[in-house]
Amino acid sequence: MRSTVATFVEDFLAEGPDVVAAHIADRAGASGVSIAAAYHASRDVFPHDPHHRVRYSEPGTVLFHPTGHRYAGLRIQPRVAAVSADRDTFREACAASRERGLDVTGWTVFLHTDRDRELADLAPENAFGDRYLTDVCPSRSDVRAYALALAEDVAATGVSVVDAESLHYAPFDHGGHHERSFVPLGETARFLLALCFCSACLARAADAGVDGAAVRAAVRSSLDAWLGGAPEPALDRDEIGELAGGQLAGYLASRTACVSALVEEVAAAVRAQGATLRFCDLSGALKGYASGAPSGSAAAATSWTLGVDLPAIAATGTLVGALGYTADAERLRLDLAGYTHLLGGRQFGLTLRPMLPDAPDAANLRAKVAAAREFPVAEVSFYHYGLARLEALDWIRESLAPSVHGEDAASSGSGPASRE
């Protein structure tokens, strides 16, 4: 089972490339490293950075030196981060990692651009005409052209894998700093608020024989009622699809077709450069990112809300990546069973957090890696080197040891959980 540890180039700069690579290869015992090649805005606490404890990620930047001709004439141009302006810090980190025998993944955030009003005309537009400035819409031809160029460019740096994050429609949450809502918003309202009705999405729907204007009016009417205090129904795909006389179901299908086609094109561009594509399914983060305590249905069952058809994506030869953001090994088994069923037994990847709120100790992480071995999990990625304490590297090494897996399985007494 392939194993990687996620990093930022700033981690390599702060601690030294050789130090970080040695920590991941020797102390964590991982076989690979995932280095952010394009990233969004963030403010994070770094417990073992020798210079800073709090750092900001520069919004919507690439961390490598892009190849200019790939973006010639494109509406969206890559913005190089300040830390990489004078030197290609991404390629330096990759080189140091390879010297330690680590396989390198280029972690790439695609459509969560955090470019604010610079790309407002390409941003998702909700049913009321409001734009979400942290993202760009995958229906837009300018956006798709940029995604293809970026994917090809990252793959051309020599990475083995391009890990695609945010290559789909954006959720409602995580749309800006200081988000507030003083009226209750359930899953259904959040989902409908996230639906994009930009001209490109409406045109795609029309091509599929869907009356997008009727869908938009029905969504607006439903949201107005719920925002005004009417009871909001639970989110159910079939029931919500009945809005606008069943037209919403067709609208959702056009979104899914859009994302599937984009992923297929990106996968082909990556393969042409000798790398493979890993698609990050954000469903696990939607459920458990903040708390580590997801509830309800298995994570994979909610991927449709992002316009994601996991079987269609897997059929392109792309490795689907699940986010196992939970503190409970049994909940993880439920989620992994969901992916196994939905993907028809195809292999998939898994990301675990060796830190709170998911892992309070080494035993917890061992139990979850042991659970992953019960399923067709091809690789486990650990998020994140700079954000976790250094002791997390020891937990990773312990969890990856085959003998530890055997001991955990033997001591559990109950064997694998039911996979209904």
Residue whose pair of structure tokens reads 């290869």 in the numeric block: 25
Inform me whether the pLDDT recorded for 408 exceeds 60.
no
Which residues on adjacent β-strands are paired with residue 380? 3, 350
pLDDT score of 411: 36
Cβ 353 vs Cβ 359: under 8 Å: yes
CB neighbourhood size of 275 (10 A)? 24
- For the stretch 156-207, pLDDT in tens is 999 999 999 999 999 998 777 778 888 999 999 999 999 999 999 999 999 9
Average pLDDT on 357-381 reads 98
Predicted confidence (pLDDT) per residue in 28-70, tens digit: 999 999 999 999 999 999 999 999 999 999 999 999 999 999 9
pLDDT band, very low/low/confident/very high, at 419 (cuts 50, 70, 90): very low
The arithmetic mean of pLDDT across residues 104-113, rounded, is: 98
- Whether the CB-CB separation of 395 and 359 falls below 8 Å is answered with yes
**Quick one: tokens of 81?**
């981060």
- Residue 144's SS3 state is helix
Confidence tier at 360 by pLDDT (50, 70, 90): very high
Percent of the chain exceeding pLDDT 90 equals 93
Question: Is residue 278 packed enough to be buried (19+ CB in 10 Å), middle (13-18) or exposed (0-12)?
Answer: buried
Cα–Cα distance, 348 to 350 (Å, whole number): 7
- pLDDT of 402 strictly over 90: no
DSSP track, 22-87: HIIIIIS--SEEEEEEEE--EEEE-TT-SS-SEEEEPTTEESS---GGGGTT-SS---B-GGGSSS
Which pLDDT value is given to residue 176? 77
Kindly report, residue by residue over 301-328, the tens digit of the pLDDT: 999 999 999 999 999 999 999 999 999 9
Mean pLDDT of the chain: 94
The band of 79, judged by pLDDT with boundaries at 50, 70 and 90, is very high
Q: What is the DSSP pairing of strand 32-39 with strand 61-62?
A: antiparallel
When pLDDT is cut at 50, 70 and 90, the band that residue 418 belongs to is: very low
- Is 359 a domain residue? yes
The alpha helices in 195-282, defined as continuous H runs, are 199-207, 212-227, 237-240, 247-271
Average pLDDT for residues 365-393, to the nearest whole number? 98
Round to whole Å and give the CA distance between 397 and 253. Answer: 43
Give the type of residue at 131. R
Q: Token pair of 373, please?
A: 């071995």
Domains in the chain: how many in total? 1
What is the predicted pLDDT for the residue at 416? 29
Instruction: Determine, yes or no, domain membership for 186.
Output: no
**Res 177: pLDDT:** 74
| Mean pLDDT, residues 339-366 taken together | 97
Residue 331 counted as domain residue: yes
Does residue 67 sit within a domain?
A: yes
4 forms beta bridges with 32, 381
How far apart, in whole angstroms, are the C-alpha atoms of residue 91 and residue 322? Answer: 27
Q: What digits encode the pLDDT tens for the residues 231-286?
A: 999 999 999 999 999 999 999 999 999 999 999 999 999 999 999 999 999 999 99
Predicted TM-score (pTM) of the model is: 0.93
Give the pLDDT band (50/70/90) at residue 403: low
**CA dist., res. 89 & res. 380, Å (int):** 25
Domain of 34, CATH number, reads 3.20.20.80
Q: Quick one: tokens of 298? A: 């298995």
pLDDT of residue 133: 96
- Contact predicate 276/311, CB 8 Å: no
Cβ atoms within 10 Å, residue 341: 14
Kindly state whether residue 147 falls inside one of the protein's structural domains.
yes
280 lies in some domain: yes
121 assigned to some structural domain: yes
Q: Is residue 240 part of a domain?
A: no
**What is the residue range of 99's domain?**
2-180+255-412
Q: What is the pLDDT of residue 178?
A: 78
Average pLDDT over residues 403-418: 38
Of the candidates 201, 90, 186, the one whose C-alpha atom is nearest the C-alpha of residue 144 is 201
pLDDT at 407 over 90: no
Give the confidence band of 404 by pLDDT, cuts at 50, 70, 90.
very low
